[in-house]
Structure 1
């Protein structure tokens, strides 16, 4: 394990990792991050949420730096409120992929995150937001999902588990899209080849940093590429078994300030 001073970049997922179940950040976690950044480390949010759904949280954190959003499809500059880089999912490919999955598993309910700093989350009839606190606009029919450029498609199935849906989707979409599972009720299609690792690598390069000095925290399979890229990956106690299997360390849950426990050990126990 690297020495505490080796970590100059701390990459944290949000839901199920840094945030508690009620979407709040504990005082202990806030203090631990402040201590780490005071000692020279950079904190980088790396999340599946699109930039517009991250902006209020970054304001709360006092963040004016970068954030990797949309599963790596967006590099957001919070201070300037603009995207430095973004990759959209071709809407025709998305429709084709969705049709292939439905041919395999039956009726799906879909939603999309539109591209851009003011992009909306659109949900079709029957789709239920996994995070009810996040704003969404319900459309009348599926065709209305494709009116503007999108960064990803979110999928739900009335009876299959997330693992079953993700496995079935990977089996039929091929190179049309990348399939990820980022939280309860959250199976997603994003641009092919785009992952949290590709977004994190771009952000780190922008900051003049690299994988050898990166400490990453996460809780779901979509964090696996990020763990593979970083020097040290820490899974939460509440993490999916697939992520725990590749983690270098398992900490306490997001409800028990698992990130703070690790950062206090690394940046305060000198």
Structure 2
């Protein structure tokens, strides 16, 4: 049987909202990989935040798409941490950060140092960012090109935050707004789908044998890209509308249910 490329979001898809991984999902991922399919984690998380999840799932080969598509890594047992950067897209964050700082003076900003952690203007709430954290001045965030900017405003109501984002008119970058007052900004045109398409081409998997499972707004392009886009039951209606089908919610291990359809 010709293998599928199976792209999996992490938070709200594989991991429950308390960050636990159910045995049903873990076993389904491992069984699909052992059956010869290409399992590719695709997340807004940084590389340092994805590697522990890959370890929990038993993923030791293939690719991962990190930072919403800005960083693609390949498993390599000889590399530090077990993964080597295969592709990385960067941009100059200064114009966006200047606009954001004017529009959202109370927000916290961070840029990713790939494989290390983040430089930030103020520490984020505990547990929201992995790796090493170095607090710096705003101007120090744009001293070089970066893969991602993270905007967090924990004191701002989500609706107000979304309105502020819409008023910015960010047309020169790609951005995705999260469930809370959180936004990821990436180079223009960079999405999970863009990263996955490069992986698909490298693996030689036909477009017709691609599956993606996700729940968030940063999964929309990925769900459109896949021949079989599957929205989680906990996805908002605007996200689910872009999918070909819908499975159960993360609390009901909907990802495991869908993955097992590949096993006959």
Given the two structures, how large is their TM-score scaled by the length of structure 1?
0.84
1:229 matched to 2:228: no
Q: Which runs of 5+ in 1 are unaligned?
A: none
Rounded to whole Å, the distance in 1 between the matches of 2:165 and 2:255 is 32
255-264 or 53-62, which deviates more: 53-62
Gap change, CA 1:110 and 1:125, over 3 Å in 2:
same
Kindly state the Cα deviation for residue 51 of structure 1 after the two structures are TM-superposed: 1.5
Gap change, CA 1:217 and 1:55, over 3 Å in 2:
same
Q: Which residue of 2 aligns with 1:75?
A: 72
Kindly state the Cα deviation for residue 148 of structure 1 after the two structures are TM-superposed: 5.1
Moved over 4 A (4+): none
Kindly state the Cα deviation for residue 146 of structure 1 after the two structures are TM-superposed: 3.4
Rounded to whole Å, the distance in 1 between the matches of 2:140 and 2:170 is 25
Root mean square deviation, CA, Å: 2.4
Kindly state the Cα deviation for residue 147 of structure 1 after the two structures are TM-superposed: 4.6
Rounded to whole Å, the distance in 1 between the matches of 2:201 and 2:132 is 33
Q: Which residue of 1 aligns with 2:248?
A: 252
Q: 1:173-215 deviations in whole A, cap 9, x for unaligned?
A: 4443111124434311110111111001001111111331111
Q: Which residue of 2 aligns with 1:123?
A: 120
Kindly state the Cα deviation for residue 87 of structure 1 after the two structures are TM-superposed: 0.5
2:119 and 2:136 in contact (8 A); partners too = no
Gap change, CA 1:89 and 1:207, over 3 Å in 2:
same
Q: Which residue of 1 aligns with 2:91?
A: 89
1:7 and 1:214 in contact (8 A); partners too = no
SS at match of 2:233: coil
Structure number having the greater helix percentage: 1
Rounded to whole Å, the distance in 1 between the matches of 2:262 and 2:175 is 36
| Aligned residues between the structures | 257
SS at match of 1:11: strand
Q: Which residue of 1 aligns with 2:199?
A: 203
1:112 and 1:123 in contact (8 A); partners too = yes
Given the two structures, how large is their TM-score scaled by the length of structure 2?
0.86
Q: 1:9-51 deviations in whole A, cap 9, x for unaligned?
A: 1110011111122333221112112222233211110111122
Gap change, CA 1:137 and 1:59, over 3 Å in 2:
same
Q: Which residue of 1 aligns with 2:22?
A: 26
SS at match of 2:61: coil
183-192 or 168-177, which deviates more: 168-177
1:45 matched to 2:38: no
Q: Which residue of 2 aligns with 1:63?
A: 60
SS at match of 1:189: strand
Q: Which residue of 2 aligns with 1:218?
A: 214
2:156 and 2:181 in contact (8 A); partners too = no
Gap change, CA 1:164 and 1:222, over 3 Å in 2:
farther
141-150 or 213-222, which deviates more: 141-150
Rounded to whole Å, the distance in 2 between the matches of 1:166 and 1:136 is 28
Rounded to whole Å, the distance in 1 between the matches of 2:218 and 2:64 is 16
Alignment counterpart, residue 234 of structure 2, candidates 217, 238, 241: 238
Rounded to whole Å, the distance in 1 between the matches of 2:256 and 2:43 is 18
Q: 1:114-145 deviations in whole A, cap 9, x for unaligned?
A: 23xx332223226436x447345140432333
2:48 and 2:131 in contact (8 A); partners too = no
